[in-house]
Amino acid sequence: MLPLPAFADNYIWMLHDSQDAVVVDPGDAAPVIEALRRTGLRLRTILVTHHHADHTGGVRELHEATGAVVHGPAHETVPEPVTRMAQGDAATVLGGLRFEVFDVPGHTSGHIAYYCPSVPGAAAAFGPAEAAPPVLFCGDTLFSGGCGRLFEGTPAQMQASLDALAELPGDTLVCCAHEYTLSNLRFAQAVEPGNLALLHHIAACESLRAQDRPTLPSRMATERSINPFLRTREASVARAAQAHDPRTPPSDAVQVLAALRQWKNDFR
């Protein structure tokens, strides 16, 4: 599994079996075409999580060049032809990997995510490799240390979406679509300055970026311990949200998330 850099901070995820490939959210065709040329892989499938141009801009060119089948959200406008997917559907790729679809509105109204409970070799490029870890392609719903802006959805939708993703196994590889990690972690530290797991994660991610290496994928267990948007029911996070915005009831996770998201929007 490879994160192909695109634009300033996007990743186009490429999953392959040494012959065929799947890409996720190809906002630009060029990095994918170059990776296919370099590796000799054949592009078979394109998975799209939501309609924003930095996730869909290369879809049509790649489909026309390779004939790859496109899967995308049922309720958003994405390049045709597309097999439309929603909660309960699944995309089968690379001869048998079954990616379950989750509806995860919040960043956009029809955002979806793709989850496979066992992907052979997926972690090999990112450290000690389990035989077949779970993999989540979550687009812009969940970031390492953060979540997407609420461009179309509501705080209640985002809270429900994040709750659903947080229930996935702790060893799940969280494949976000942007290298926003250090910025997100600076905000997370402002929320929970005493979170030791967060401090250790910041150091690890700073080391990776100093080597020009991705901070992704993350792990769901890590995100549950360091990501304030997955920790809205933790007393320390709720207190911080209320201290920032006294109107925030600390017992209401949705209101805590809303306060955190507004705080993050303005955070410098």
Q: What is the pLDDT along the chain (268 residues), one digit of tens a residue?
A: 999 999 999 999 999 999 999 999 999 999 999 999 999 999 999 999 999 999 999 999 999 999 999 999 999 999 999 999 999 999 999 989 999 999 999 999 999 999 999 999 887 767 666 678 999 999 999 999 999 999 999 999 999 999 999 999 999 999 999 999 999 999 999 999 999 999 999 999 999 999 999 999 999 999 999 999 999 999 999 999 999 999 999 999 999 999 999 999 999 8
Predicted pLDDT at 124: 73
Give Cα separations from 59 to 41, 43, 46, 65, 144 (angstroms): 17, 12, 7, 10, 25
Residue of 54, 103, 111, 201 with catalytic role:
54
Predicted pLDDT at 268: 85
Q: How many CB atoms lie within 10 A of CB 267?
A: 14
Predicted pLDDT at 128: 62
- Distance (Å, whole) CA 14 – CA 3: 6
Evaluate whether 140 touches 111 at the Cβ level (below 8 Å): yes
Residue type, 240: A
Predicted pLDDT at 201: 97
Predicted pLDDT at 57: 98
Residue of 51, 71, 107, 111 with catalytic role:
107
Predicted pLDDT at 242: 98
28 has catalytic annotation: no
54 has catalytic annotation: yes
Listed as own residue / partner, the contacts of 76-81 with beta carbons closer than 8 Å and 24 or more positions apart are 76/50, 76/51, 76/108, 76/109, 76/110, 76/111, 77/51, 78/48, 78/51
Structure tokens at 249: 């009831």
Evaluate whether 190 touches 267 at the Cβ level (below 8 Å): yes
- Note the pTM of the prediction, 2 decimals: 0.96
Structure tokens at 217: 């994928």
Predicted pLDDT at 98: 97
140 has catalytic annotation: yes
Verify cis geometry, omega within 30 degrees of 0, for the bond prior to 214. Answer: no
244 has catalytic annotation: no
Verify cis geometry, omega within 30 degrees of 0, for the bond prior to 217. Answer: yes
Predicted pLDDT at 193: 98
55 has catalytic annotation: yes
Structure tokens at 24: 């996720």
50 has catalytic annotation: yes
200 has catalytic annotation: no
Residue of 25, 28, 51, 55 with catalytic role:
55
Residue of 50, 51, 71, 111 with catalytic role:
50
Query: Which of 35, 127, 48 lies closest to 82 in space, CA to CA?
Result: 48
